[in-house]
Structure 1
């Protein structure tokens, strides 16, 4: 195994994207059972096989999202039925190694992708994914920033645009505005010309205002449901409130959107859809079109990426601990160093 690993390292260092030399083994972050961050380890696994309609991507960076540690802890084990070992991660930034001749990509293209595989797989040297979940990134976009966008950016965009039906002039409240999703949500909401109220810890007031928030409240000092104000859209990124709490401060026809998939809020999604004030628990769907929209905002200078910290892949356990402990603002990024 040691000889195979060394050969694989040498081949990777000499890899030419224009001349494909198939590899059989790669480094990856894996876990063999549910548990705390310490279950994460560096292992050697098979390089995934690319099928027609898919891309093989050399991963240069990824990032950690709350869903990663929740899956690792076993909170959603009913959704993952295919055993271990597992490779975490959904965000990919890297270069295409192989694709179909008629694909809208070519080897060497710089891309970001939001993996659509329920089990993840981004924390590895190589991943495969369908063409329709990846998008080209400009040369001006650093890989670390590209890796921070896919899941969090897509979640913010789909929550506001598709589930919240955001429109110019609407009053939007973002609860948990300083985190990865919340920071993107502020900027996307302003791009849609909405009036944005941000809720976060007091130390993040300047950060949220700089991103474009029109008003700010410190959650430790203010309960937004008791302010006597009303909003057309409440996006609860933090999952700290609920539909029943938010309903009384929703305007007529208003919408409450949460990213917290608990049983109560899922039930509210079903029973409130015909009501004038609806509640929705959203689950983001990988989409190349949405990634392209986010990239366009980035190129226009309308989407700033904030990075909290950077870890190498072999420090994935520390990166998970960082996110679990609570990040003041920005994303935790992993770079491909094993």
Structure 2
């Protein structure tokens, strides 16, 4: 099979012929029809921030932990391993395998796989797993959002943000999205009740108060964000400014440390270690089929142009998701 392989940190992805994987016990072999690109991929490609190489589950100390990147997959079941009971060849599925999506085939544990929403294409389905899964955990589990809550999404036009705005509305919240001038119309079209253009207004000095702040962009300090949070609000950290050595880790750790001395809850959303991936994918599929949420795709690239897609996503200007059609 064809796959893009990462030989070493910072090196170009190389199109290579690899043996087609064989599903082990509890695994499903998926013929990949589409995948997507996200910050998770280029953090592993660069091995940055460097401090992450020292962490368990990070990119790897001496070299890439994953040789084939790609954390989102949509495609068709090619074969199933022993003890797999929920899928059969020909099923249209989507998954978050955490690695291996930049290839024609990938083996996925049955626990990380679900039937693809029936009303979207493979490309649209591939835009969902990691980004929408992160937004779902941030709102429902970590943010404990309730109907009527006032929710602010800082970074509302990106992959996670576009899903977060829609999911917050689906959960009955009053939503304010923060984005740049060129994406104000997009964020409003997703259902945001209010939109703050960060090039014209600092949301931390607006005087408004929020019950839940989803911090995807990490563009303001924790102390600044607390100015617009109610006394019992929750500050959910999802991302932050990129950096070679410590960012966004230092932004997250500093905000968490300060949170020990304030009345607001401060939590970090981490979708990769989540053990409920299958159930979350099923929940998202139901919401998509019901018309409650839909993926926003900025650009679609062919398989041969995965390196260009990664480069574009790394620039940080994509509105929604960057998708690969295979």
Q: Same fold (TM over 0.5)?
A: yes
What displacement does 1:102 show?
Answer: 4.8
- Show CA shifts across 1:242-291 (max 9, x none): 32221121101101112125134235436636852022222114501111
What displacement does 1:109 show?
Answer: 0.5
Q: What CA distance in whole angstroms lies between the structure 1 residues aligned with 2:168 and 2:255?
A: 24
Aligned with 1:304 (options 291, 294, 298): 294
Q: What CA distance in whole angstroms lies between the structure 1 residues aligned with 2:222 and 2:287?
A: 30
SS at match of 2:311: helix
> RMSD of aligned C-alpha atoms?
1.8
Q: What CA distance in whole angstroms lies between the structure 1 residues aligned with 2:14 and 2:127?
A: 22
Q: What CA distance in whole angstroms lies between the structure 1 residues aligned with 2:150 and 2:131?
A: 22
Please name the residue that 2:3 is paired with.
28
Please name the residue that 1:284 is paired with.
271
Please name the residue that 2:76 is paired with.
95
Aligned with 1:212 (options 177, 183, 191): 191
- Show CA shifts across 1:151-190 (max 9, x none): 0000111011111111100000001101111000000000
Are 1:45 and 2:18 matched, yes or no?
yes
Higher-Rg member (1/2):
1
Show structure 2 runs of 5+ residues with no match.
240-247
Residue pair 1:114, 1:134 contacting (<8 A) in 2 also: yes
* TM-score, structure 2 as length reference: 0.89
Q: What CA distance in whole angstroms lies between the structure 2 residues aligned with 1:335 and 1:98?
A: 21
What displacement does 1:46 show?
Answer: 2.5
SS at match of 1:323: helix
SS at match of 1:55: strand
Show structure 1 runs of 5+ residues with no match.
1-25
* TM-score, structure 1 as length reference: 0.86
- Show CA shifts across 1:61-93 (max 9, x none): 000001111111111433233845711110000
Please name the residue that 1:315 is paired with.
305
Which moves more between the two structures, 265-274 or 57-66? Answer: 265-274
Decide whether aligned partners of structure 1 residues 43 and 77 sit closer, same or farther in structure 2, where only a CA change above 3 A counts: farther
Please name the residue that 1:187 is paired with.
166
Please name the residue that 1:263 is paired with.
250
